[in-house]
Chains A and B, each alone.
Chain A
Amino acid sequence: MQELIVNILLLAVALLAAVLQLIGRKPSSGMTRKQKIMLWRILTAAVLLLGLQSLGAGAFDSLGGAGRWLRLALYLVDYLVIGYDILRKAYRGIRNGQVFDENFLMAVATLGALALAVYENGDYLESIAVMLFYQVGEWFQSYAVGKSRRNISDLMDIRPDYANVERNGKLEQVDPDEVEIGSTIVVQPGEKVPIDGTVVEGTSTLNTAALTGESLPREVQTGDAIISGCINMTGLLKIRTTKEFGESTVSRILDLVENASSRKSKSEDFISRFARIYTPAVCYAALALAILPPLVLMLGLGQSPAWETWIYRALTFLVASCPCALVISIPLSFFAGIGGASKAGVLVKGSNYLETLSQTRIVVFDKTGTLTQGVFEVNGIHHNQLENDKLVEYAALAESASSHPISKSLQMAYGKEIDRSRVSGIQEISGNGVTALVDGHAVAAGNEKLMDRLGVPYISCHSVGTIIHMAIDGQYAGHIVISDVVKPTSKQAIQALKSAGVYKTVMLTGDAGQVAHQVAAELGVDQVYSQLLPADKVEKVEELLARKRGKEKLAFVGDGINDAPVLGRADIGIAMGAMGSDAAIEAADVVLMDDDPMQIAKAIKISRKCLGIVYQNIVVAIGVKLLCLVLVALGFANMWLAVFADVGVMILAVLNAIRALFVKKL
């Protein structure tokens, strides 16, 4: 019965190898030369083994004494075809002083089984088949890892291959590295923007999905800054470059993501440390299994030692113990996790940060630019005698000479070109406001002090923000409220964080207490600290760090422009809105390409999923290994089961690791 199963298995392996060989001819299969050679070896070995098996021992016995040796020689040839590289690697490992690795395990196990078979003139099949199936497993692993590695890399590959430069009226494709700062490049519809710059001609819509994960297109026109990595969708753009290729956004992001997996997480460290103790430990355990029980049987109990049984069990033990499933799947899980995150517009600078992120229980926000837009907008107009638009128009015109952020936001609210000829006699009264003649009317715009000074009675405002009182021709005309606007998704983001297991959210701000508390209450933030100077923010974060319990981690979210020290001090620094901001990319551990605070919860969920997969793989792989080892030691499993357990767990672990890549629905 077992013989039949084995023959069917061998046939299946041979067929599989032949089919894969055919598939491998297509360049799209992505098989390397080495993998193709390995397939040939698997095919040859399987066919040869099948032939030898169907001939059977009887055919050789009829040849007399030489028959036994001929049979051995043929099986040995088969063994060498399939396993010579393992033997070579094991030998080299011993010579280089790194004895214990999986090659050594396999070489010792199969050579031992072969020696036992020679001694008994029996079943050579087992050792060769074990080697064969091990190699099939290795082949599959190398192919699966290679393929998923390429898939992930392709996904992250936003690297532009060329830049179009106009020379003598003709477009020429050049290496983006060769384009100097200040040159003009042309980006046609459908092409990637290769280098950061400013649009000098043309309007178009840009797809920023590769950078931000956000599918909403962005409009650009002449004069707008444009960052590399976006895809130009509709119109022809001429761009004057402001950076070199190496310093451009796309290069920096790629650099960051590619180097991310070089920063090892604790789980990865654990696995490599584990493998370092595990393999020698298993080897010694196998040695003990081969020697101790027979000695006990012989000396202690006076029974026959049964050396063959115990040596066979020890060899099976070695086969069962291969740690490859762990060693390959953990880094692959992290790589897939980082790849999936970057596809969603979340750049994680290393596996270790992904790990920290998953343990985040406290999130500290910087208010401006994170939960709020960080730009001041006209948020209300009260008690006005004129139409809203008219009032804003007068205010904008009166303030037209000023470059103060407040006047900028007034001009923005007005939204039209300012006709300076309508304004005359502008007088700025420092710390109060301005007075000017607009269309012949005396317009005064400023704070309460200005109104007092002009002797105009005014109505105080209850709203939070900067209040600009207006007086026209000496008459009070109402006031305009200008304040920072909360981002539309901020409230949702705080809730999403809560449901993702963050139990405390804290907001830090330099603003006055009243403003801060109003925003906090509106968003549902747990704690607020207001009127902080940048140095105070570090102090507050340190206070919070000192108070947190056990393993939980504190994340600080800022816009990366002025809070680099705090980003560095927190367990994990998250910078958002990094499109084009170098400072953020430098200072933070996690960079959100988008301005959307929802991304924070998403980043945490991605990290949780990835870490979940890592732990599943660790537990399942080690669990199955230990179970197998126990079964083998007790004699309930043979070498066949051992090799299938090894290959099976490895394949499952690799497939599970790939799941970390899918983060869309989180």
Chain B
Amino acid sequence: MKKTYRIEVDCANCANLMETAARKTSGVQTATVNFMTQKMIVEFEDGHDPAGVMQDVVKACKKVEPDCEIFL
């Protein structure tokens, strides 16, 4: 399943860090952060609840870039 979330992040490098962090989160098949459109596209692995996984993704992203926002 694929979902798109609006994010707020202000540097391109921070966006890359978020992308890497999101990809490493369990339950996430793949994640793409688009800095220019301020969007995060997350593809979830089967059998994982997106809402739950996203909590972890937010945590992981906050760790690498405390200034970022993900609007769930």
User: Which A positions have Cβ atoms within 8 angstroms of B?
Assistant: 32, 34, 92, 96, 98, 101-102, 142, 145-146, 149, 152-153, 258-259, 261-262, 272, 327-328, 331-332, 335
**3 tightest Cβ-Cβ pairs between the two chains A and B:** A335-B36, A142-B10, A258-B37
Which A residues are CB-close (under 8 A) to B38? Answer: 149
Q: Name A327's contact: one of B13, B34, B66 (CB within 8 Å).
A: B13
A638 to B34, CA, bound (A): 38
* 8 Å CB interface, B18-66 against A: 32, 34-39, 41, 63-64, 66
Q: Are B12 and A259 in contact (CB under 8 A)?
A: no
Q: Are A262 and B32 in contact (CB under 8 A)?
A: yes
Which B residues are CB-close (under 8 A) to A327? Answer: 12-13
What residue in chain B is nearest A103 (Cβ atoms)? B13
What residue in chain A is nearest B14 (Cβ atoms)? A89
A102 to B11, CA, bound (A): 12
Which B residues are CB-close (under 8 A) to A34? Answer: 10, 67
Q: Are A331 and B64 in contact (CB under 8 A)?
A: no
Number of cross-chain contacts by CB at 8 Å: 43
Sample of 15 more A-B contacts, CB < 8 Å, known A261-B37, A328-B12: A92-B66, A142-B11, A146-B10, A149-B36, A153-B36, A258-B34, A259-B34, A259-B41, A261-B34, A262-B32, A272-B16, A327-B13, A328-B11, A331-B12, A331-B36
User: Which B positions have Cβ atoms within 8 angstroms of A?
Assistant: 8, 10-13, 16-17, 32, 34-39, 41, 63-64, 66-67
Can you spell out 12 A-B residue pairs with CB atoms less than 8 angstroms apart?
A32-B8, A32-B10, A34-B10, A98-B17, A102-B13, A149-B37, A152-B36, A153-B36, A258-B39, A262-B32, A327-B13, A335-B36
What residue in chain A is nearest B37 (Cβ atoms)? A258
Which B residues are CB-close (under 8 A) to A258? Answer: 34, 37, 39
A294 to B39, CA, bound (A): 50
Which B residues are CB-close (under 8 A) to A331? Answer: 12, 35-36
Residue among B32, B34, B41 having the largest count of chain A Cβ atoms under 10 Å: B34
Q: Name A262's contact: one of B10, B11, B34 (CB within 8 Å).
A: B34
Which B residues are CB-close (under 8 A) to A102? Answer: 13
Q: Are A261 and B10 in contact (CB under 8 A)?
A: no
Closest approach, in angstroms, between the C-beta of B28 and any C-beta of chain A? 16
Which B residues are CB-close (under 8 A) to A96? Answer: 63-64
What residue in chain A is nearest B64 (Cβ atoms)? A96
Which B residues are CB-close (under 8 A) to A262? Answer: 32, 34, 41
A259 to B17, CA, bound (A): 19
A152 to B41, CA, bound (A): 20
Known A34-B67, A92-B64; contact A101-B13, beta-carbon cutoff 8 A: yes
A272 to B35, CA, bound (A): 14
A176 to B69, CA, bound (A): 27
Closest approach, in angstroms, between the C-beta of A126 and any C-beta of chain B? 26
